[in-house]
Structure 1
Amino acid sequence: MTPSLRLTALHSTRRHIARLLAAVAVSGLAIIPSAFAQATVKVGSVLSVTGPASFLGDPEDKTLKLYVDKINAAGGISGKKIELVVYDDGGDANKARTFATRLIEDDKVVAMVGGSTTGTTMAMIPVFEEAQIPFISLAGAIEIIEPVRKYVFKTPHTDKMACEKIFENIKQRGFTKVALISGTDGFGSSMRAQCVKVAPTYGVQIVTEETYGPRDSDMTAQLTKIKGTAGIQAVVNPGFGQGPAIVTRNYAQLGMSATPLYQSHGVASKSFIELAGPAAEGVRLPAAALLVGDKLPDGDPQKKVVVDYKKTYEDATKQPVSTFGGHGYDGLFILVEAMKRANSTDPKKIRDEIEKTKGFVGTGGIVTMSPTDHLGLDLSAFRMLEVKSGDWTLLPSGS
């Protein structure tokens, strides 16, 4: 072989070796992220941490982060650590939809626990349904799970259940004529529709109705009309956020306190009592056992769960517990238990196991889901509470 041919062969060999090394390098780069990915499981969350619904999203955010840290410290899920990816939508449905898309396309999450409000949840549902990623919502309206969507679940009691619990109590007190004053937001509108639908079942007549917007700062005009309507025996306020607290204050200012006022589970946090002040005295509402955990009888199956969560949350955050953080707790652990049963990070297998949840004792009640029920709670999960001396009290059955 001539020197020039030997040089050509040498160059060819070097090029071949270089190509082999490049291939190995590329292969190695492809394998390394996969190995890391196998050590973690990504769970997404879009919450209203700031903005008008921050009283929902902030405790949800704190709860998820607190318990993900605890789960990871205990070894994760079958040895895999949870990587929680949280975005703050500020209560904006358009932002929520954008973040939902980002969770799927960029972050590659296997499941989602979030959606602080009905509006943001409804905006995200099509995204997760199309991607076939399980979505456990923390919002209230029944339209989230009725009709049933394959990949969508939720933890809070529905607005329909709240109406039923309220009218059950109204009927027990012998009242038949009520007025509604409802928020025009997604939750308020949905609950108003459900209350109108179920009222006749309890022999209740809705005599008059008023509404208020999410940014309204005074409801005196609407309440004055209600006050002037003859025969009103109770007033029901479907709504959440600051609106119900303003309604409650205006209610007292107009001297209407002799007529019972009912609020929804959408105000089931100490912040409502703080915002409404002394005017909240005597207000009744349906809520989860979490708010009165220490008042539950020792034999109540939820007592240990709600008392432990309350202590853990309040010790960590130095803030009073709310049912909204509890919804996050329930959603996270329903998902974690489903992942353990599935022994997989495949979203479809996780979805199937979420739907098979049975007898899960959470802060909101005892959850048993099915292909036709993606909530898994019945009316017994609600407790009827009354504000007394600036705190929640548990009403005895039938009172």
Structure 2
Amino acid sequence: MSSIRMFHCRFSCRTAIRPWWPAALLGLLGLLAGGLPPAQAGTVEPIRIGSVLTLSGPGAALGEPELKTLQLYVERLNAAGGLLGRPLRLIHVDDGGELAKVDPAFRRLLDAERVDVLIGGTTSSASLAALPLVERAEVPFLSLAGSVLIVEPAKKWVFKTAHTDRMACDKVFADLRARGLTRVALLSEASGYGRSGRFQCLARAAASGVQVVLDDSHDPKEADFSAPLARIGASDAQALLVLGVGASSARITRAVHAAGLKLALYHTHSIGSKAFIEAAGDAAEGVRFPAAALIVAAQLPEADPQKRVALEYTQAYTAAYGGSVSTFGGHAYDALMQWAEAVRRAGSVEADAVRRALEATHGYVGTGGIVHYAPTDHLGLDATAFRMIEIRNGDWRLID
């Protein structure tokens, strides 16, 4: 049986001969993917990369840099000859931040497009919803979302490049203790990431020497936070940790500032974009959050092994698109580069060969940290992958 895979039989089988494609169509696909000479692209079937991202709605600030990064580096890989002598074709679908669109988006990529790898799931809700499909389809999936539940327990076909909510809780609690703050209020949004983060922080607080004095939640679409903020203000909390994704995080930050709450304000790595600072305005001043080294690359010590990688990505991304980088684009870069390296080591895009090569990744230096995968660890990052950042004068400053 050929190692070239075709998804069919509604997840019941995966191995079959791909249909013959006219050379003219293959040439067009290669040109769309970018970079390869027409003669080469016209004779070789492209490797298909499928991506479900949040490109519209409140989470668009996360998905947009992810897509731009994938487009940029697919083009660069193609300009360098592709992988295994084949061009790459990126096929992306916008889920609009709507859970109802996730299943059909992933099914389209798996069934109709017959992709060789999946990169995406901007949000935890999208990634978690895709897990059963991916596991049955037996296609490598590299998630870009934060919930630890995506990779715990370890799933055969699922890997993740974003730091986890559990890691964020631990980093925030450690910083609170260092500042002599032991009483914290939680405000989590009703989303996959918010719920998972709330659970992780509640579970980690006591062992971290921190007391959760108020545990509140909100609908990410709401604009009025007066009720939960009144409860937080009436508590004896010394700090507030917001667990959310996208535009609601900026709205909460503005509301905290307007209410005059004198609390140390923390978020998680979900605000690792200048879009948050722009949306929150002056209210962002003094906010602390854990994030990848990428966004403070220039502030890293020269001996830091991530500095070169992070600076090179920053220079490439800003030269192509302007503006600034975000942790979200970095997650996409790490996913694509880890997968590309696994394909090279496997010498094939056959699903299980690539999966095994991914699982054998050890010492990959990326924008998010230094990755060491194992059969029971498909995140491969430890606590050293997180840095504590503070927003000062509209920019990021490395604290720890």
The answer to whether the 8 Å contact 2:59/2:247 transfers is no
Q: Take 2:127 and 2:223, find their aligned partners in 1: how far apart are those partners?
A: 26
Output the amino acid matched with 2:268.
Answer: S
2:119 to 108, 113, 116: 113
Within the candidate set 128, 135, 154, 1:129 is matched to: 135
Pair 1:30–1:66, CA change in 2 (3 A): closer
What's the secondary structure of 1:320's corresponding residue?
coil
Question: Which residue of 2 is the match for residue 245 of structure 1?
Answer: 250
Distance 1:142 1:58 in 2: 23
**AA paired with 1:341?**
R
Query: Does residue 390 of structure 2 align to residue 369 of structure 1?
Result: no
Identity over aligned residues, as a percent? Answer: 46
Q: Larger C-alpha radius of gyration, 1 or 2?
A: 1
The superposition leaves residues 219-249 of structure 1 with CA deviations (integer Å, 9 ceiling, x where unpaired) of 12211111111x3111111111111211111
Match of 2:172 in 1: 166
TM-score (norm 2): 0.89
Q: Which whole-Å deviations, capped at 9, do the CAs of 1:266-319 have from their partners, x for residues lacking one?
A: 111111111111111111000011110111111110111111111111111123
Structure 2 residue aligned with 1:263, among 248, 257, 267?
A: 267
In 1: Cα distance, 2:224 partner to 2:365 partner: 40
Q: Report the TM-score, using the length of structure 1 for normalisation.
A: 0.89
Would you say 1:312 and 2:309 are equivalent positions?
A: no
How far 1:168 sits from its partner (Å)? 0.7
Cα shift at 1:58: 0.7
Output one character per residue of 1:339-381: Cα deviation in whole Å (capped at 9) or x when no partner: 0000011011111111111111111111110001001000110
2:82 counterpart residue number: 76
CA–CA separation in structure 2 for the residues paired with 1:190 and 1:367: 23
Q: Is the 8 A contact 1:87 1:99 kept in 2?
A: yes
Counterparts of residues 374-393 of structure 1 (less than 5 Å): 374-393=378-397
Alpha-carbon distance in structure 2 between the residues aligned to 1:184 and 1:209: 13
> Kindly tell me: are residues 37 and 105 of structure 1, through their superposed partners in 2, closer, same or farther at Cα, counting changes over 3 Å?
farther
1:100 matched to 2:109? The reply is no
Q: Secondary structure at the match of 2:362?
A: coil
Worse-superposed segment, 37-46 or 203-212: 37-46
Equivalences for 1:341-356 in 2 at 5 Å?
Answer: 341-356=345-360
Contact 1:39 1:79 in 2 (8 A): no
Per-residue CA deviation, residues 90-128 of structure 1 (Å, 9 max, x unaligned), is 112232211211212211111111111111111211111
Q: 2:343 aligns with which of 318, 339, 358?
A: 339
Residue 178 of structure 1: SS of its match in structure 2? strand
Question: Contact 1:188–1:238 (CA<8 Å) still a contact in 2?
Answer: yes
Which aligned pairs between 1:145-224 and structure 2 lie closer than 5 A? 145-224=151-230
2:293 paired residue among 265, 289, 293: 289
Q: Is the Cα contact below 8 Å between 2:84 and 2:348 reproduced in 1?
A: no
- Per-residue deviation, 1:31: 8.1
CA contact (8 A) 1:330 1:362 kept: yes
Contact 2:44 2:87 in 1 (8 A): no
Aligned-partner residue type, residue 369 of structure 1: Y
Count of residues paired in the alignment: 366
Q: Report deviation, 1:30.
A: 4.4
Q: Give yes or no for contact 2:285–2:393 (8 Å, CA) kept in 1.
A: yes
8 Å CA contact 1:94, 1:123 repeated in 2:
no
Q: Distance in 2 between matches of 1:246 and 1:94?
A: 25
- Letter of the 2:240 partner, please give it: V
Superposition deviation, residue 145 in structure 1: 0.4
Instruction: Note the C-alpha offset of 1:79.
Output: 1.2
Instruction: Structure 2 unaligned segments of length 5 or more: list them.
Output: 1-18, 27-40
Q: Structure 1 stretches (4+) deviating beyond 4 angstroms? A: 29-38
